[in-house]
């Protein structure tokens, strides 16, 4: 690896990291503003123009709040848990490509932090590590509500991870590769996977909402039953870390969905690679707007569906999504085997 | 870095009540590390089996295009074996979260004990 590549990688890491942070800030505001509009009220609009600085103000406020560590906690694990949750949440976006490769001075720069050849498995593995953070946070707090929240979240995440994995298998079968570039290039050459496997896309979408603990699947922090779920005993900046990792997970999940089923940076009817630098700009814009749509969908769904009951959640995961995922694999396999 | 910054600027005043475990303002009753429902354990076990199945499916899916029908039939057999497992767990009611156990489930209560599905 020469100096240029090293420099390019460092710049990409910084850009992606900053972009995720900024998106979290915007998402934190958008969540409340869009919620406000959906409920026929304004939402926060006082801090900065249109309330744009509201989330920044909130972050500063979190910094100045006292960090209460209850006497009853298991201290090392209690301190470790937010870190375990946050680091994988920020690491997962690294393998998601956000544009066509850029040509600078004879070098090709992939618009993706790390193009590893098992990109999909990398994301699945890291999201599984995130589960440890939630469970350990719930257990170490030495309080009943977090314990129940942590247990619920672990059972929920592992249940929906199966459906998610099965939905992804269908995509791998048609594209024949585990890297995102292979999957996107294949979709660009033929058509988006959404048109080919709407069933898998649906299963993945539902599992995605459950994996990120968002409504209607936020059973882990159902505030009417469990106060705050696994982070009841966390305060101040450690709470902010859970909050940020939840949003980071939402962003990564949206990017994942876009790459798998909606062509990633592919803009329909346009060949980005033939357009040179403008093609790169177009492809990044296409990716950002697609991810933006899914982020909006998260908020939209939040105010559209009521929360599931826990037994309904388990029934949906095991008795509906899991068989549907198997049916999808069977259908795709049969179709491909007969056509070949 | 942010954690160190916060240590510097945030107030820190201790208090016995403030640092006690949260239980809706009531006095804390017993330890939090109590027994919890065995269902979580069963779900985890079933998950383990099916997750290994998904992991095995990944390399198969990558080479599926090249091998074609033979791979399809082989995986079909494998999936069928596991589906039998799923059906068994389903029949044993291990996937049901709410289990209706009424010892007097006869007469007009029989309707309650039926599977909610």
This prediction has a pTM of 0.84
A224 contacts in chain B (CB < 8 Å): none
Please judge whether B18 and A68 are an interchain contact, meaning their C-beta atoms are less than 8 angstroms apart. Answer: yes
> What pLDDT does B117 receive?
47
A104, pLDDT greater than 50: yes
- Provide the percentage of residues in chain A whose pLDDT is more than 70: 95
Q: At CA B109, angle to CA B104 and CA B114, rounded to 5?
A: 105
A128 close to B55: Cβ distance less than 8 angstroms:
no
B22 contacts in chain A (CB < 8 Å): 70, 143, 145, 227, 232-233
> Which of the pair, A284 or A110, is modelled with greater confidence?
A284
> Which of the pair, B99 or A310, is modelled with greater confidence?
A310
> What pLDDT does B32 receive?
65
**What does the domain layout of chain B look like in residue ranges?**
35-95
**What does the domain layout of chain A look like in residue ranges?**
69-339
Instruction: Kindly identify which residue of chain B lies nearest to residue A153, measuring between CA atoms.
Output: B40
Q: Is A64 within 8 Å of chain B by CB?
A: yes
**Environment class of residue B20 by beta-carbon count within 10 Å: exposed (0-12), middle (13-18) or buried (19+)?**
middle
Other CB atoms within 10 A of residue A216 CB: 18
- Provide the percentage of residues in chain A whose pLDDT is more than 90: 3
What six digits make up the tokens of B5? Answer: 């910054």
In a mutagenesis test of the B interface, which of A86, A155, A182 is the best target, namely the one with the most B β-carbons within 10 Å? Answer: A155
Three-state SS for A98? coil
Write down how long chain A is: 340
Tokens 């539902």 belong to residue:
A206
CA B44 to CA B52: how far, in whole Å? 12
In a mutagenesis test of the B interface, which of A90, A124, A329, A335 is the best target, namely the one with the most B β-carbons within 10 Å? Answer: A329
Q: Which pLDDT tens digit goes with each residue over A218-270?
A: 776 666 667 767 777 787 778 888 888 888 899 999 998 998 888 878 777 77
Q: Which residues contact A294 (CB under 8 A, 6 or more apart)?
A: A253, A254, A257, A258
Q: Could you tell me the pLDDT band of residue A95, with boundaries at 50, 70 and 90?
A: confident
CA atoms A225, A229, A235, A237: torsion sign: negative
Closest chain B C-alpha to A248 CA, distance in angstroms:
17
What six digits make up the tokens of A13? Answer: 């890491």
């Amino acid at each position: 690896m020469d100096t240029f590549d090293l420099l390019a990688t460092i710049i990409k890491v910084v850009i992606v990291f900053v972009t995720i942070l900024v998106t979290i800030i915007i998402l934190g505001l958008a969540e409340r503003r869009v919620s406000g509009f959906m409920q026929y009220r304004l939402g926060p609009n006082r801090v900065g123009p249109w309330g744009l600085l509201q989330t920044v103000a909130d972050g500063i406020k979190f910094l100045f709040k006292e960090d209460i560590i209850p006497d009853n906690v298991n201290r090392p694990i209690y301190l470790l848990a937010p870190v375990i949750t946050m680091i994988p949440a920020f690491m997962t976006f690294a393998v998601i490509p956000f544009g066509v490769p850029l040509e600078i001075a004879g070098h090709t720069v992939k618009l993706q932090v790390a193009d590893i050849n098992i990109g999909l498995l990398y994301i699945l593995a890291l999201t599984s590590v995130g589960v440890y953070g939630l469970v350990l946070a719930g257990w170490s707090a030495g309080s009943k509500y977090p314990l129940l929240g942590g247990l619920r979240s672990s059972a929920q995440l592992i249940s929906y991870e199966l459906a998610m994995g099965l939905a992804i298998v269908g995509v791998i079968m048609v594209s024949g590769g585990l890297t995102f570039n292979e999957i996107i290039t294949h979709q660009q050459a033929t058509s988006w996977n959404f048109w080919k496997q709407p069933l898998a896309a649906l299963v993945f979408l539902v599992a995605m909402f459950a994996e990120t603990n968002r409504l209607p699947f936020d059973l882990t922090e159902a505030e009417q039953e469990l106060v705050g779920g696994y982070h009841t005993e966390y305060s101040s900046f450690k709470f902010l870390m859970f909050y940020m990792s939840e949003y980071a997970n939402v962003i990564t999940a949206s990017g994942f969905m876009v790459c798998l089923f909606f062509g990633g940076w592919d803009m329909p009817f346009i060949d980005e690679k033939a357009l040179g630098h403008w093609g790169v700009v177009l492809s990044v814009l296409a990716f950002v707007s697609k991810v933006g749509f899914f982020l909006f969908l998260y908020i939209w769904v939040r105010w559209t569906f009521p929360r599931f009951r826990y037994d309904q959640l388990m029934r949906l995961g095991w008795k509906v999504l899991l068989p549907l995922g198997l049916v999808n694999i069977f259908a795709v396999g049969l179709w491909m085997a007969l056509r070949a | 870095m942010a954690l160190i910054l916060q240590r510097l600027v945030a107030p820190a005043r201790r208090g016995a009540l403030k640092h006690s475990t949260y239980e809706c303002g009531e006095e804390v009753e017993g330890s939090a590390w109590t027994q919890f429902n065995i269902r979580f354990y069963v779900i985890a076990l079933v998950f383990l089996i099916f997750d290994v199945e998904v992991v095995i499916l990944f390399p198969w899916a990558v080479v599926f295009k090249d091998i074609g029908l033979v791979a399809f039939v082989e995986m079909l057999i494998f999936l069928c074996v596991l589906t039998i497992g799923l059906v068994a767990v389903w029949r044993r009611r291990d996937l049901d979260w709410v289990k209706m156990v009424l010892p007097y489930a006869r007469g007009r209560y029989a309707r309650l004990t039926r599977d909610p599905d």
